[in-house]
Structure 1
Amino acid sequence: MQTTDIDFVIVGAAKCATTWLQRALQSDPQVAMPDPELHYFSRHFERGLDWYLDQFPSGAADRLTGEKSNSYLDTPQAPARVHAALPHARLIVQLRNPIERAYSDYCMLYRRGEVGSDITRYLDPDSATKRRFLDDGLYYRQLEPYLERYPRERLLILLYDDMLRTPQAHLDHVRSFLGLAPRALPAASRKKVKDRTEPMLSPSLRRLMQPIRPAIEPFRKTPLFRAVRRQVVREIAYPTFPLALRNRLAGYYRPDIAKLEALIGRDLAHWADPAEADTPFGLMADQSRKTAHQYS
């Protein structure tokens, strides 16, 4: 396969339901996509182009071929690398309210045991030292290098909000951009992609087990391992998201959102409204946690 055979790349953003989009496209036999995120143009560029091309399914040259790696949006080197190898590819970006994206990203690392419960330490624009949660939501800044290299018509900018409201129309829009006929949304894509209410090991226990993970990995699928795991997992209680912190984040993102609005011709003022939050964790009653957002 030659690089010109790669027709499209979903470049991000992280925690914006691009996995939902990938699975919906993969359900079409006309589309060929590697199952894992390759992260070639961001984290594994040293492996070389041959390695990259070898990751695509056999017979992919006869189908519409693409891949999805969220890190291509937030890695500064990625746009130049993508363009050098795939100058004629179509690019897809799916964007979510950056405030909710930051909180969802924080919750993911919290349940992994990689961050603590002091949410202000990680999400306060004035004091956070781990800038990943904050800066990965500066979408216009991340899109600029792609817009400098690709014609605007080759970059499809989608909104997570639209996927929530009208998933079939959302998918039809993507398929039209890729030159595909409309196709019914697969049943699997109507279900949850990731469920933060699913019982898991507590963050503290995950941290304790981190050093021995390589040793227990071969046993993860055994009945005994699963039986033991069922005894120790529980639903994660996520730290609350204070309204004052949310408002500070709204101010932090406001200049970037204004540029994004001008670029896509959409009013995104609702992103700063707590009543429009798509992550009810920490903002609503405990009962809302049971029906927490499907695609976080």
Structure 2
Amino acid sequence: MEMHDINFLIIGATKSATTWLQQSLQLDPRVHMPDPEIHYFSRYHDRGDRWYLENFKPASEGLVIGEKSNSYLDTPAVAARIHQSLPDALLVAQLRNPVERAYSDYCMLHRRGEATADIERYLDPRQGAGGRFLEGGLYFQQLRRFLDLFPRERMLVLFYEDLKIDAASQVQDLRRFLGLDENPSFEPVAQRVKDKTKPLVDARLRQILKPLKPIVAPLRDTKGFEFLRSIVSAEFKYVPLNNELAARMIEYYEAETDRLAGLLGRDLSHWLKAPLADCKRQSV
């Protein structure tokens, strides 16, 4: 397999249901995508093309081959690297209300113990500008880097909000873009609702117990394991996104959203209204 055998890349955005897109494509036996995110063009480019290609193990010839790495969209060096190695690749971006995306990303890392309960430190533009959470929603800047190098027709931009309305149409649009046959009966994978109220072991305790993971791994899914886990678990307490902070985030993204709307010819004014973000139950 060579670099030119890779047909497409799903480049982001993080927390915008790109895993759902990937899993829906993988239902088609003509599509080959490795499951883990490779992050080659963003984090591991120094490992070289041979390492990258080792991640692809197509079972037969004639497959549509691609990968998904959400870090590609918001890493500045990636567009040029992809253009150099895969100048003919098709690019897929799925975007989400940037305020809700940032809050969802924060909740995920907070639950993992990688972000503290000081939400304004991460999401208030007066403190968190330049950090992962707010930078991830600067879509105009991110797409512009790719469109300066790739023809517009080689990029498909989808929206998280559209899949909530008609998931099947969203996948059919993607299939058409990738040159896959139309299949009116094709059904995407079900949209998973992630119950974020499920009890969780405290992050500090998880770090202490981490060396024991290989030992207890065979015991997972047993009644004894679940009983012990229930003793040390508790419902995770999320920090709410209050209206004042949401308003500051909306103002931060306003000019960027207007430029993106002009670039894509899409009305995105609903992104500039107060979001209904709730980390406790989120789909996909």
State the AA in 1 paired with 2:154. R
After TM superposition, give the deviation of residue 207 of structure 1 in Å: 2.3
Identical-residue share of aligned pairs (%) = 45
- Residues in 2 aligned to 1:61 and 1:234: alpha-carbon distance in whole angstroms: 49
After TM superposition, give the deviation of residue 190 of structure 1 in Å: 1.4
Cα–Cα, structure 1 residues 124 and 8, in superposed 2: closer, same or farther, change >3 Å?
same
State the AA in 1 paired with 2:65. T
State the AA in 1 paired with 2:257. I
**Corresponding residue for 1:207?**
204
**Corresponding residue for 1:286?**
none
- Residues in 1 aligned to 2:14 and 2:79: alpha-carbon distance in whole angstroms: 16
- Using structure 1 for the length normalisation, give the TM-score: 0.89
Cα–Cα, structure 1 residues 119 and 47, in superposed 2: closer, same or farther, change >3 Å?
same
- Residues in 2 aligned to 1:76 and 1:267: alpha-carbon distance in whole angstroms: 26
- Answer yes or no: is the 8 Å Cα contact 1:5–1:61 preserved in 2: no
SS of the counterpart of 1:39?
Answer: coil
- Residues in 1 aligned to 2:74 and 2:215: alpha-carbon distance in whole angstroms: 33
Matches within 5 A, 1:66-145: 66-128=66-128, 131-145=131-145
State the AA in 2 paired with 1:232. V
Deviation digits for residues 64-101 of structure 1 (CA, Å, limit 9, x no counterpart): 00000000011111111111111101000000000000
Matches within 5 A, 1:140-151: 140-151=140-151
SS of the counterpart of 1:40?
Answer: coil
Cα–Cα, structure 1 residues 278 and 226, in superposed 2: closer, same or farther, change >3 Å?
same
**Corresponding residue for 2:217?**
220
Deviation digits for residues 228-272 of structure 1 (CA, Å, limit 9, x no counterpart): 223333332211111010000001001111111011111111112
SS of the counterpart of 1:127?
Answer: helix
State the AA in 2 paired with 1:172. Q
The answer to whether structure 1 residue 10 and structure 2 residue 10 are counterparts is yes
- Answer yes or no: is the 8 Å Cα contact 2:200–2:235 preserved in 1: yes
Matches within 5 A, 1:142-181: 142-181=142-181
- Residues in 2 aligned to 1:11 and 1:65: alpha-carbon distance in whole angstroms: 14
After TM superposition, give the deviation of residue 211 of structure 1 in Å: 4.8
- Answer yes or no: is the 8 Å Cα contact 2:40–2:52 preserved in 1: yes
**Corresponding residue for 1:285?**
none
What count of residue pairs does the alignment treat as equivalent?
280
State the AA in 1 paired with 2:282. H
- Answer yes or no: is the 8 Å Cα contact 2:129–2:135 preserved in 1: no
After TM superposition, give the deviation of residue 2 of structure 1 in Å: 1.1
**Corresponding residue for 1:256?**
256
Gapped regions of structure 1 (runs ≥ 5): 282-288
Is the deviation greater in 129-138 or in 145-154?
129-138
- Answer yes or no: is the 8 Å Cα contact 1:15–1:104 preserved in 2: yes
